Amino acid sequence: MTDTPPTEDPRPTGLERARSLLLVNTGDGKGKSSAAFGVMLRSVAMGWPVVVLQFVKSGEWKVGEEKIGRQLGVEWHSLGEGFTWDSTNLDHDKAVAQRAWETAAAIIAAGQHRLVILDELTYLCTWGWINTAEVVGALRDRPDDVNVIITGRDCPDEIIEIADTVTEMRKIKHAFDKGITAKKGIEY
């Protein structure tokens, strides 16, 4: 810790503007999706077309971010089947995940959205439900003006390697550790 605020500009010289960015929010701490939805609000305020694709949450979940996103004109796709531990057929869930990725890849390639949020995509890669190399290709070859945010734990190294910004949320403590369930308005 320092007691003196910086007096010199810490930014490197020669900064350039990028046509688009690939951001990753990963780690075992809270806030990965919440941070992405904060950027969603910022992008909507700039007049950007925004799309959210959720790969674990199902359309039956009533989450606050979807409610406000839709009210603000965000295109929303809840493409998952829910938590894997609640599943009665993981093969079915894997097939759903593969179709969900096909939808996401087509949306990215179409280039109609300035911001694409791929919420909880990392799980599909780490579980081997979708091909990480295909994901990397779609992200690397995306149209120039398409910014992408990926959320989820254990982001594959191949995605981290091509990302412009990677933030790792680290859990120091969590209410779950004390036996407290998820709170409406805070976690969903």
pLDDT-derived band at 188, boundaries 50, 70, 90: confident
* Number of separate domains in the chain: 1
Domain boundaries, position 78 = 22-169
Does residue 14 belong to any structural domain of this protein?
Answer: no
Does residue 1 belong to any structural domain of this protein?
Answer: no
pTM of the model: 0.91
Does residue 34 belong to any structural domain of this protein?
Answer: yes
pLDDT tens per residue, range 57-103: 766 767 889 999 999 999 999 988 767 667 677 888 899 999 999 99
What CATH number is associated with residue 86?
3.40.50.300
Does residue 8 belong to any structural domain of this protein?
Answer: no
Does residue 9 belong to any structural domain of this protein?
Answer: no
Rounded CA-CA distance 124/129 in Å is 5
Does residue 103 belong to any structural domain of this protein?
Answer: yes
**Residue-level pLDDT at 85:** 65
